[in-house]
Chains A and B, each alone.
Chain A
Amino acid sequence: MLRLLQQELRSRRNGIIGWAIGLSLLPAIYVAMYPQFQDSLAGMQDILDMEIYKAMGMSFGTFEDWLASTVINLVPLILAIYAVLDATGTLAGEEDNGKLELILALPIKRWQIVTVKAIAHAIALFLILLIVDIVTTIVFLGIESQVETSLTAWDVFWSLLYLWPIVMAFGMISLFLGTFAPSRRVAALIATVVVIVSYFGNNLSSQISTLESIKPLFLYNYLHATATLWVDGPQVNDVLVSLGVAMAVFLLAVVFFQRRDITVGAWPWQRGKIPADAVRTA
C-alpha cells in the first residue's frame, strides 16, 4: 500500500507545485497591496455595503476584514476547484481512462484503494495550503510595519491552515461522487454545483431572513471568513462539522465503490436485470 500511496503522491507532484505557486499569488498580492489601499478602502464602505459584495461575504474596513474577505474567503473556493478536479480524477477519471482496471486486477481490497487515494488527496490539499500559507506569512512579515493590525504572523499562518477541513470536505464529496456518478464529467459537474451553492447559499442566507433556517446546510457556514476569526479563534465545533462531513462522505465513497461495476458507466440504480424476454440457454 505504501508504494501505491507513493505513486499517488508522485502523480500529484506537478499539480501540487503548480497549484501552490499559482494559488500563492492571490494572498500574496492581496496582502502585499493592502498598505497602498488601506486609506482609500476606508472611504469605500458605501460601495462595499452593496448587496453583491455582501453576497460574496466581503468587507474591507480593516486589515483583518480585508484578509478575511479576500484570502480566507477566496482561497478555499479556488482550492475547491483543485479538490474537485483531483478527487473526481483519482477514481472516476481513472475508471474512464482505464487505469483503474489495472489496480483492481491486483489482490487489493477496494476499500484500500479508496483509502489510499483519499489519503493522497488529503496530503496534496494540505501541502498546497501549507505552501500558500508560508508564502502569505512571509509577505505579511514584509508589510507588517506598514499596516494597522493586531494580527501576528502566527495568526496569519494558522488561519490559512484552518481552511483545510472545508476543502477536505469538498474533496471527499467529489471523491464520493466519483464512485456514484456514471462518469468523471458528471461527478465533477455535481461537485462544482455543490461548491458554488455552498458559497453563495451561505452568504445569501445571511442576507435573506427566510433562508436563515437552511444556512446550516451549506458547508461555508462552518467557515468564518470574517475578522471575528482572529477575535474568537477557530470554532472547534465548526471544524469538527467539516471534518465529520469529510469522514462521512469518505465512508459513503468506500461503500459505493465496493458495489460499483467498474467501466460500465452507470448510476447505481441502473444495475442490470435480466429482461423477461431474454432468450436463455435451455
Chain B
Amino acid sequence: MTDYIIETKGLSVYYGRHRGILDVDLCVETGEVFGFLGPNGAGKTTTQRVLLDIIRPTAGEAHMLGLDCQKEGVVARDRVGYLPGELSLYDNMKARQFFKMYHSLQKNNSDPKYWQTLADRIDLDTSRKIREYSRGNKQKVGVVMAFMNKPELLILDEPTTGLDPLVQQTVMELVREANQAGATVFFSSHILPEVHAVCDRVGIIREGKLVATERVEDMTRQHFKRVRFNFANMPPDDAFSKDGVIELARDEDGITLEVHHHLDVVMETAASYGIIDIETIPVSLEEIFLAYYGRGNGGSNA
C-alpha cells in the first residue's frame, strides 16, 4: 500500500461562481519530489492554500501527513515548510530578526541556527533590513524560511522566481538534499528544465482539473514520438496525412514527424518509400507540457 503524504479526494474550491479547482484527486507519495505544473490561473496556488488551510474547500477533502488539513491543520503545519508564490515579508525587520521570529513560532525547532547555514549557502546578508533587499534577495529570504526548520514536507510555489542562475542551482541542490534526507517536496514551477531535473513525478493541472499525473521519464518517453526518416524515394506531401500524425519538416533528404497515434501505420507507410535512416528526436518536458496546455488533453492519475 502506497504511503501518501498528500492526498486529496474530490477537492473543489469555488470563489462564488468562479472556478478555483474541481474534483482534484491528488496523491503525492512520501519521499518523492512532485512537480505541480499548470498555466496561470489553473489552480496550483489554490490547491496549495487548501493544504495549508488558508482557503477552505467547497467540497472534498485534503490530507497532509495523514492529518486532515482543516481539522488537524495546526499539527500538520508544524511539519511543513512553505514558500508562497507571492512572497510578502515584514519589510521593517532585519532578515535575522525575521528568521528568529519565524523559528520561534515553529514547535519543531531542533536546530536554531540552521537558517544561518542556509543564508550563507545562498549568499544572503541577514544583517540588513528586508526592505533594502532586491527582489531576488527577498526570494532568498523566502527560501531560507521554507527550509530552515528541516520540515518533512516542503510546499514551494515557484521557488526560483527572481533568482540568478547560480542561486537557482543552489536551491535545486537544497531540494535534492532535503529529499535525500527524507523530505517530500511538492512544488510548482514554470521552469520546466528544473522540474525535469529534480522531479520524480509531475502533475499537470489545467482549468482547475488535474489532467495528468505521471513519472517524468514516462511522460517524456510515451507521450508522443518525434521521428526523423531519411528516404530512398521521397514520399508525396499527403503520405502521412493521418489522424495523430503531424509533419513537422520536410527537406530533400527526409521528413520529420510528430507521432501521437498509429506509430505502426507510420512505420509501415515509411517503409514503403525505402527508409535509409531513422532517428528518434528527444521530446522535452516543455513540449509535452505545452501539448497539455494547448490541446486540453484529458488524462488519468498514475
| Residue pair A280, B90 in contact (C-beta under 8 Å) | no
**A3 proximity list for chain B (CB < 8 A):** 100-101, 104-105
| Residue pair A99, B49 in contact (C-beta under 8 Å) | no
Determine the distance from Cα of A7 to Cα of B57 in the docked complex, in whole angstroms: 31
| Residue pair B55, A7 in contact (C-beta under 8 Å) | no
**A105 proximity list for chain B (CB < 8 A):** 52, 54, 77, 80, 82, 84
| Residue pair B84, A11 in contact (C-beta under 8 Å) | no
Determine the distance from Cα of A191 to Cα of B78 in the docked complex, in whole angstroms: 36
Least CB distance, A89 to chain B, in whole angstroms: 13
**B12 proximity list for chain A (CB < 8 A):** 274
Given A3-B104, A4-B105, A108-B105, the answer on whether A281 and B23 have CB atoms closer than 8 Å is yes
Which residues in chain A, 97-136, are within 8 Å of chain B measured between CB atoms? 97-99, 101-109
| Residue pair A272, B13 in contact (C-beta under 8 Å) | yes
Determine the distance from Cα of A263 to Cα of B14 in the docked complex, in whole angstroms: 13
**A263 proximity list for chain B (CB < 8 A):** 49, 54-55
Secondary structure class of chain A's binding surface, majority of residues: loop
| Residue pair B14, A98 in contact (C-beta under 8 Å) | no
**A272 proximity list for chain B (CB < 8 A):** 13-18, 20, 58
Determine the distance from Cα of A273 to Cα of B102 in the docked complex, in whole angstroms: 35
For the complex, is B181 an interface residue (Cβ under 8 Å from A)? no
CB-nearest residue of chain A relative to B77? A107
Which residues in chain A, 240-282, are within 8 Å of chain B measured between CB atoms? 259, 261-264, 266, 270-275, 278-281
Cβ-neighbour of B14 out of A99, A259, A273 (below 8 A): A273
**A261 proximity list for chain B (CB < 8 A):** 54-56
| Residue pair B22, A281 in contact (C-beta under 8 Å) | yes
Least CB distance, B72 to chain A, in whole angstroms: 11
For the complex, is B129 an interface residue (Cβ under 8 Å from A)? no
Cβ-neighbour of A266 out of B15, B59, B86 (below 8 A): B15
Given contacts A10-B92, A263-B49, A274-B59, 16 further A-B contacts (CB under 8 A): A3-B101, A6-B101, A7-B90, A11-B90, A97-B88, A99-B90, A101-B88, A104-B52, A104-B54, A106-B102, A107-B77, A108-B74, A261-B56, A263-B55, A279-B22, A281-B209
B interface list, Cβ under 8 A from A: 12-20, 22-23, 25, 49, 52-56, 58-59, 74-75, 77-78, 80, 82, 84, 86-90, 92-93, 100-102, 104-107, 145, 209
A interface list, Cβ under 8 A from B: 3-4, 6-7, 10-11, 97-99, 101-109, 259, 261-264, 266, 270-275, 278-281
